[in-house]
Amino acid sequence: MRNVEPDGEPSSSLIGGLRLARRMGALPEQFFSTLVAKTEARVAAGHDVINLGQGNPIDETPPHIVDRLRSMAGELRYQRYVPFSGLSELKASAARWYAARYGVQLDPVREIAITMGMKVALQEISLMVLNPGEEALVADPGYPDYWSGIALAGGIRRSLPLLPANGFQPAWDAAPASRLVFLNYPHNPTGALAGPDTFSGAVAYARRSGAVIVHDLAYGDIVFDGRPATSFLAEPGARAVGLELTSFSKSYNMAGWRLGLAAGSGELIAGLETIQDHLHCSQFGAIQQAGIAALESPSAVVAGQALRYQRRRDALVEGLRQAGWEVAPPGGGIFCWAPVPAGGDAVTFANFLLERADVVVAPGVGFGRFGAGYVRLSLTAPAARLEEAARRIGDVLPAWRDGGSPDG
């Protein structure tokens, strides 16, 4: 499969002798698949590999959420189809959560939709908004799953550069007109929080260009050093021009449960629920009930989760600094974003760390062309493993700076 920032039509894909639709040929290439295969081979060969290349939470879902699932799974009403638009009780709970967390007042019927996780919702939104040939701006570097829905919709992906000199914030005055924009703060992969003018600039941009703004708030509860995350919907005018997506995966360690929320423009919510009616028939009702238990969790549950990641961040950043690699601590999220030492190539450096230190990191170019020269390190491992990873990296950094290579 090949990625197209199309100048022309992608060719059809072939599997064996069968020809598939052209849209399959337009899907982005899975950049990290080669690294994953190398990692698996390294593990299979008996190496103790520390995988900091993926953002898969390792911690347990809080017991009260699991208990709600257990108690509701036996309910006959949830062994049948639930409403395709989801449980009204979960929407009402989400409206209360938004009001308490961000001071945003939402109509639970018109302005909230339930999604089967974030990944599915991202594809649905592109299919809902984009016509073939229309352009979408994607934060670069940014989460690669934004790209897939654009390709499936026949859209054209353009970069919205996030540069370190600008604190990884968009330069809205330089942004070309588009139909759809994907933002994400706290930001994956850089860990930046939204700047004071980022959301107001997004609203102004949407008004002059007619774009739909989609803000991915997956890491809204994972913020550090006492600084608050902000909701796009708290910005005046935001609700008229966009949507915000919220995930249960990181805040409550529910990544495998596949549950999320969309909130914002009533028109966009109606469109999202329409396309969901055609694609699937809502998440298992007992999981939605567990989502209510999550949103109604004591504040200490989420605060403890943020503190856990902050301690891991501090362990990794301090360990890398002691090893001679200066890494800026992220303001939020579950990743560190670090320039390759000595200005080297990120893919070569990632291969070097895997083969010399048994540590996996993700090359930044996999998050867009403005990720070149960086690597992303996940904070999902326990602090002790992060400290061990930093020690291993420190052991091999002198060889890297001396021009080492994975094979050298």
The pLDDT of residue 19: 85
Model pTM above 0.75: yes
Residues forming CATH 3.90.1150.10 domain(s) in the chain: 20-60+300-401
pLDDT tens-place string over residues 196-243: 999 999 999 999 999 999 999 999 999 999 998 899 999 999 999 999
How sure is the predictor about 15, in pLDDT bands with cuts at 50, 70 and 90? low
Helix (H/G/I), strand (E/B), else coil: 124: helix
Is the pLDDT at 3 greater than 60? The verdict is: no
Is the pLDDT at 7 greater than 60? The verdict is: no
Percent of the chain with pLDDT over 90: 85
Is the pLDDT at 71 greater than 60? The verdict is: yes
Kindly list the distances between the CA atom of residue 343 and the CA atoms of 239, 373, 374, 400, in Å, as whole numbers in the listed order. Answer: 42, 7, 9, 11
Strand ranges (E), 85-184: 112-115, 135-140, 156-161, 180-184
Residues forming CATH 3.40.640.10 domain(s) in the chain: 63-298
The pLDDT of residue 404: 62
pLDDT tens-place string over residues 22-61: 888 888 887 778 778 888 999 999 999 999 998 888 899 9
What is 20-60+300-401's CATH topology?
Aspartate Aminotransferase, domain 1 (3.90.1150)
How sure is the predictor about 185, in pLDDT bands with cuts at 50, 70 and 90? very high
The pLDDT of residue 155: 97
How sure is the predictor about 251, in pLDDT bands with cuts at 50, 70 and 90? very high
pLDDT tens-place string over residues 39-50: 899 999 999 999
The pLDDT of residue 55: 86
The pLDDT of residue 408: 41
C-alpha angle with apex 246: 370 to 309, nearest 5 degrees? Answer: 70
The pLDDT of residue 275: 96
How sure is the predictor about 10, in pLDDT bands with cuts at 50, 70 and 90? low
Tokens of 398: 């002198």
What is 63-298's CATH topology?
Aspartate Aminotransferase; domain 2 (3.40.640)
Mean pLDDT of 112-126: 95
Is the pLDDT at 137 greater than 80? The verdict is: yes
Strand ranges (E), 116-270: 135-140, 156-161, 180-184, 212-216, 242-247, 260-264
pLDDT tens-place string over residues 267-311: 999 999 999 999 988 899 999 999 999 999 999 999 999 999 999
Sign of the four-CA dihedral 306, 102, 261, 187 = negative
